[in-house]
Structure 1
Amino acid sequence: MNILPAAGAAALALASGSAHAAEAKRAPFGTLADGRAVEAVTLTNTHGVTARIINYGAILQSVQTPDRAGKSAEIALGYDSMDGYLKAPNYFGATVGRYANRIAGGKFSLDGKQYTLALNNQTNALHGGKVGFDKVLWRIVDVKNGPAPSVTLSYTSADGEEGYPGKLDVTATYTLDDSNALTVEYKAKTDKPTIVNMTNHSFFNLNGEGSGKSILTHVLTLPAEQFTPVSAALIPTGERRAVANTPFDFRTPRVIGDRVRDGRDQQIVFGQGYDHNYILGAADAKGLRAAARVEEPSTGRVLEIATNQPGVQFYTGNFLDGTAIGRSGLAYRQSDGLALEPQVFPDTPNQPAFGSARLDPGQTYRSVIVYRFSTSAR
């Protein structure tokens, strides 16, 4: 699967024209309850693709791309002001950590010592806890203009924050290049052994966030031979199950809505749709694995994702319940957005067969996500 096709990028460039300047612009975005200022940095390339990042939660607040006719639209779920992110965050566009996804019982052991985490998902710890990386103010440390504008943000997580050991120094860098690739790079260093698993939790709708259409008509290709089944509590059972002959088989392009409600499959019932980790294949020479390709046939918009992580969580917005009112004024409901979150496997600290999420002093954690935007021919 060619995750980064030059032809697709060229098609988007042709559709949108080249009357834009590649740049990074910094501007106010609001304030927190304690008066601290929140800022936004908007990255723009010459093909009319824009990505806006706010330093609250290192959130990818906006992504705008043209369709095959050159008409630009917002394709990321989210809010136009801080009020929404504070009242109903839903992880829209958020940087999640210290540990993305679920840890069973909110407990894990490291070097013979058990650590207890904040529980914020029934009996589990989810996405870093009650005040994870998505709910803190990061510091903007660098903004670069040029052919590939970027912004780098930093945050220091104190030893013991949300129950995690070790002081963790983290950076998040967003770079938008002229091939329509938005690269997100997370790095972290610690002063004592800890666990780290960071990802971006953007919800995308290639129809346009304000279209009123769901993602169920999107066509997904996910080149994974296996996924990790879960219990009713959405914790992996430890099994690696083949996708063949199941609703989880997206090795060839499939419409998401075809099987998302297949109640004959217990895993679909448990997740109320797709909310599962897929095991990705081997990395290429650059250390990247093809994670997913999503196409919306009517607009022609295409999103492709590559990563250096071993898995990707595919989530169809099953728990969006209409209480969040997005930037367009529409209530976000089930399947109004999809998330594809590259990461290590859920609950890895309690399941050694899944590998390791451990980070030791002297090491550097590095997670890379590449979002490539293009358009398809009709």
Structure 2
Amino acid sequence: MPAPFRLLTIFLESPSFVRDIWLLLISLLLFGATLYIYVRLRSNTFRRIRHLLEERVEVKTRQLVEKNLELEQLSLVASRTDNSVLIAAPDTRIEWVNDAFLRLYAMPKDKVLGMRLHEIAIYRDIDQQVEQTLKQEHSSIFESNVTTHHPRNIWISSTLTPVYDEEARLKKLVMVDTDITSTKQLQQQIEASLKEKDVLLKEIHHRVKNNLQIIISLLNLQSGYIKDESTLKAVQDGQNRVRSMALVHEKFYQADELTEIAFGEYMEKLCQYLYQSYGDKTDRVRVLIDAGDVALDMDTAMPCGLLVNEIVSNSYKYGFPGQRSGEIRIRMFREDKTVTLDITDNGIGLPEGFSVESSESLGMQLIQALTSQLDGELSIGRENGTRFTVKFPYPKG
């Protein structure tokens, strides 16, 4: 018989108290085994939990160290910077300011804390700025000038930043002010210097124009003593050329900006002078001008004005002989960096076999020279009259 069965038989044949002892021993043994297993399981669980807690504590500790370092750096920046920094509650009550704020506005700290922003002189209109900043939901920058309640006149550049919490509710208002007084003073000096230079340049243009006008007057006086018709016409042509240059200087000293002049207005005035110069033909010949909003600088306006003078003068002199009537059209337009000057007339046109390159006419030679000065290209058409087209780059370079 196997041993387990023999033990079971002995156990069953034993007296009852012996069986009770055996049952007690077995129960204790099972309880001990159960307790041992439970303790081992709990111990393993506790070790795992402790390990997880240690990892979490380590992560949190590292995060706190980083946060403390960041706060320390921010505190250092906020307290040591030369820029004024303040923090206000959503109702604009000031909760904190750095030392730079107290130095900049010469105010004691105990007086500043608790004040509303608009109660400080420089922030009188801050409520409107706060409202606008909150609508934009991002920082805004504005400038202020402190002329009262301050030991000196200062300019301030302010950056107002709203700070929101995780639920998009306004948490704080942060204001950073920078003293830009020296920059403003330098800017004002530069502006004053530029205005002074503008005045000087206008005076120069005015004096040059007056000097050219004197030359025109002298030529006009001299023409009274000239009997030869061809010489008289040459002097009158010279007058017109000088007048076209004088008019450029006149337009520049009359302009608000000295960089460019509206060339359409210039051509209107120039053609009025030519109208007076060729009075015997102006009742029969109309001049139509279309220049849009083209504006030219001094270096370009001068040769371009002389070009218009020469071409329009040629049309007046040679395009409408006798009692012939017609019109002269002047168009100027700009496409990207190219300006086109197109002057046409419906007169008798150029003679057959005419070549501008071989022409001995002073006017034609000037037209070529002025086109070259503009770095331009000249083309001449002979259909239904005469057409001069000059294309040149502007601005140069």
How high is the TM-score relative to the length of structure 1? Answer: 0.18
Higher strand share: 1
Q: Which is bigger in relative contact order (C-alpha 8 A, separation at least 6)?
A: 1
Report which of the two structures shows the higher radius of gyration computed on alpha carbons.
2
Higher helix share: 2
